[in-house]
Structure 1
Amino acid sequence: MTKRAHTLVAEIERDALDDKVPLTSALRKCIVLGGAVNSDQLREWAGNELRGYQGETETPDYRIVAASIHVDAIAGPNHIKGQRISPLQLPEVVQEKGIGEDLPLRMGIGELEAALANDSEGHIHMSLPGGADIARMLDHEANQPFQKITAVYWSVSKTAIAGVLDQVRTTLTELVAEIRVTVPDETADPSKETLGNALTVALHGSPKARVTLTTSQSHGASTIKNADASPDDGEEAPFWTRNKVAAFIAGAVAVAAGIATVARVFLG
């Protein structure tokens, strides 16, 4: 790795391992690292985490949390606060948009960190899109002259938000660990493919094809090893590799024989 890239990886690792350091710091360094080695994949992921998943950008599974739907209302002289309702009680047009109790947290990581730090309650309220219109439709459908719904919102546990932040921090830690496994020599630059695979491992837990770059100490020559590659031509393949074709053929013959037997039973 170049000195600059090596320094960035070390700083990302340090920030990720320190719970007191905001995640925004490590994610910005990921953008810089992605730019240094031309990794659009790393820059895009870190940018989405910082700015939020906007427009048609798909929200990662780890950002989808359980969130109950609640309303605040005035009913005659009574003030109702935090009344939970079922998604089936929402207007039909709202239900058709898929609004329910699975909430994608699409905002930037800084906003999530601020919400977790500033809210003294055990839950955080997030308004449903078009909440004011939903409230008016609910009042209209209820047809209660002394009822007025003042707010419709999701109630999200602070524990769930903390879990999302922890997932991102863990992803950063696994990203650094995979980079170090793949490029153990600190004088070698990680390629954009290396960073892409490292991010895939960190997010999904399975590398596409891990390529490890090692450097010979005696001759200074580099060797590239593919951890998922087939054995060399001069090496004998494992027994399960040698026998898998034969096993497949034998299985196919057995299935064909079984089908023929069933046919004889039913056709006489």
Structure 2
Amino acid sequence: MNNELLILIKSIERNCHSQEIKLSDILRQCKSLGYKLNYIPLKTWVNYELIGYPEDIELPQYRIIDNVPLFGDLIGNHFGNIVTIKKTPIEVDPRILKEHIEILHRFPFRNNVANLQSMIDSANNQVLRFPLPQSILPYLETGYSDTSLVIAYRIISVNLIAGILDTIKTRILDFTLEIQDLQLDLEYDNSNTIDSIFKEFILKSPNIYYINTIHSVGSMNQNPGNFSVGGSVSGNVNNVQGDNNRAVQGDNNQAVLGDNNQVTQQNQVGADTGESLTKEDVVKLLAQLETLIQGAELPADTKEEVIEDLSAAKKATDKEEPNKQRALERLGTVAETLEKTSKGVEAGQKVWTIAKPIIVKVATWLGVAAGSHLLGL
């Protein structure tokens, strides 16, 4: 791993353990990391956390508080005296649609992290009040007769807001630890690894739409379906999304969204191709796969088998005149073994998610000269 990147990642990790470092400062470090890795979703997520989430942007689930209680302040006449009843639990008129009732009991925090911290610091007690609009008051019930509802509000514990900030910091920590645990050259190979780690440890969701739409098509980890490289592959297929898609001959075929698509020949001048990889690049990718397998919690016999095949593929590639046919055969065995393991071993799913795009990249390079081979990916 690049030494400058490693120093930055370790600094972020240390700061996540400190109570003295502001979360906004940690996020700015993450922004630097996003730029050094050239990984757009990380930069986008950090920006939203630093400046706040616009109304038209989907919120991560950790920023939404559900089952928020409703309270109100009442004023009424008690034997000729004006009385005020504060912090009275209130209910919503049952004639209102259920989904509208759920919205009233749900509070989304779109504020930036500095503003959330300010809420906590300025709280006079352990709860904060968030008023409801006056237009909703006629639809609220207090259970008291001869009283009027003056104001209604939601009450949220400051501990819940602190929990949002703590969740962000913990997810950043998990993200940095996982990157270090994989021990991959991220500066070289970020499109093949960071995407799955980011979604698993930061978002904990693969479906937040702004992340999927802004990410470049070069990230193979965004392939949620069955990716097949077959026939005579003589170009670089960047990203095919959907189920049962098949990529065939051509240079720099681009992303296709949907099911049962077939990508055919389409050349683009100036785009990155499998041919741009050198033999040294491919050997390095195979070595990364070995490192990944060695550190994975896979059955011992499976691990031994895969490492043996990877070692053979690396040796065949690293010859003065690479034996691409033999390397591709061994790589196909690796792909088959890892895919089977992913269906029966929990740790295997994670390994396959990371390994699959690397294997596709190597197979594409091998296929340029090897001619015809089928990898069941």
The TM-score with structure 1 as length reference comes to: 0.68
Q: Report if aligned partners of 1:73, 1:79 keep a CA contact under 8 Å in 2.
A: yes
Q: Partner letter of residue 199 of structure 2?
A: T
1:134 is matched with: 136
2:128 is equivalent to residue 124 of structure 1: yes
Q: Partner letter of residue 25 of structure 1?
A: D
Taking the aligned partners of 1:172 and 1:64, their CA distance within structure 2 comes to 19
SS of the residue 1:110 aligns to: helix
SS of the residue 2:104 aligns to: coil
Q: Report if aligned partners of 1:67, 1:157 keep a CA contact under 8 Å in 2.
A: no
2:158 is matched with: 158
Deviations 1:138-194 (A, max 9, x none): 58x99x9975433221111122222222211110100110111223569x5562443
1:73 is matched with: 74
1:50 is matched with: 50
User: Which is worse superposed, 153-162 or 4-13?
Assistant: 4-13
With over 3 angstroms needed to count, the CA separation of the structure-2 counterparts of 1:14 and 1:91, relative to structure 1, is farther
Q: Report if aligned partners of 1:5, 1:189 keep a CA contact under 8 Å in 2.
A: no
TM alignment of 1:164-243, pairs within 5 A: 164-183=164-183, 191-203=190-202, 222=284, 223-225=287-289, 227=293, 231=306, 232=309, 241=340
Taking the aligned partners of 2:43 and 2:175, their CA distance within structure 1 comes to 13
Count of residue pairs brought into register by the alignment: 224
With over 3 angstroms needed to count, the CA separation of the structure-2 counterparts of 1:148 and 1:91, relative to structure 1, is farther
Taking the aligned partners of 2:4 and 2:131, their CA distance within structure 1 comes to 43
Q: Report if aligned partners of 2:2, 2:185 keep a CA contact under 8 Å in 1.
A: no
Q: By percentage of residues, which structure has more strand?
A: 1
Taking the aligned partners of 2:108 and 2:8, their CA distance within structure 1 comes to 30
Taking the aligned partners of 1:205 and 1:104, their CA distance within structure 2 comes to 18
TM alignment of 1:93-112, pairs within 5 A: 96=100, 98-112=102-116
1:62 is matched with: 62
Deviations 1:101-154 (A, max 9, x none): 2322222221211111221312111233xx12223x358x99x99754332211
Please point out which of 84, 89, 97 is paired with 1:84. 89
Q: Report if aligned partners of 2:127, 2:158 keep a CA contact under 8 Å in 1.
A: yes
1:216 is matched with: none
Taking CA–CA contacts closer than 8 Å with sequence separation of 6 or more, which of the two structures ends up with the larger relative contact order?
Answer: 1
Structure 2 unpaired stretches of 5+: 207-219, 222-282, 297-302, 310-328, 344-377
Q: CA offset at residue 39 of structure 1? A: 0.8
1:254 is matched with: none
Q: Report if aligned partners of 1:127, 1:154 keep a CA contact under 8 Å in 2.
A: yes
Deviations 1:38-69 (A, max 9, x none): 11110111122222222222222222224211
Taking the aligned partners of 1:91 and 1:111, their CA distance within structure 2 comes to 36
SS of the residue 2:25 aligns to: helix
Aligned-residue RMSD, C-alpha: 3.8
Q: Report if aligned partners of 1:91, 1:134 keep a CA contact under 8 Å in 2.
A: no
Work out the percentage of aligned pairs sharing the same amino acid: 23
Q: CA offset at residue 25 of structure 1? A: 0.9
Structure 1 unpaired stretches of 5+: 210-220, 245-268
The TM-score with structure 2 as length reference comes to: 0.50
Q: Partner letter of residue 69 of structure 2?
A: S
